[in-house]
Amino acid sequence: MSINIGQEPSKLTIYKDEQGKYKIYIKGTELKENGEKQDIFMSKKVQFRKGIEVKNKSVIEVIKGWTDCYRIPIGEINENGKPKYKYFDKIFVSEFNLLEEGTDEVQKTKQPKQEPQDSFAFDSTTDELPF
């Protein structure tokens, strides 16, 4: 999968999450410890021009697009007293053709599974409280 750098158009499936942010998934492979290949998927943020809305799972043909970056402050200060940032890449699409319109249903973000926690509730009477 690629985004056009030259004259050839690119075909992308766009996913929209609960926050209204767009992304694509890029498929790759990695080797397991036993030597077998395993498919992995990496998401990449996609941004459109202001006012452009695309439905979830829409298929587009990119006419004009490029890779760009954005930054998020990490809450630390460098030696010059300026905030430090973490940088990420994104794909910016400025022109495209809609090949297949998606659905209004948004893509649910996968959350890591959490183990159930023990209850920290306790019973007490007013006689046991120090105040």
State pLDDT tens for residues 20-34. 999 999 888 888 888
Structural class in CATH, domain 10-100: mainly beta
Q: Taking 50 as the threshold, does the pLDDT of residue 64 lie above it? A: yes
What 3 state SS string does the chain have?
A: CCCCCCCCCEEEEEEEECCCCEEEEEEEEEECCCCCEEEEEEEEEEEECCCCCCCECEEEEEEEEEEEEEEEEEEEECCCCCEEEEEEEEEEEEEEEEEECCECCCECCCCCCCCCCCCCCCCCCCCCCCC
Report field, pTM of the whole predicted structure over 0.75: no
What pLDDT is stored for residue 112 in this prediction? 52
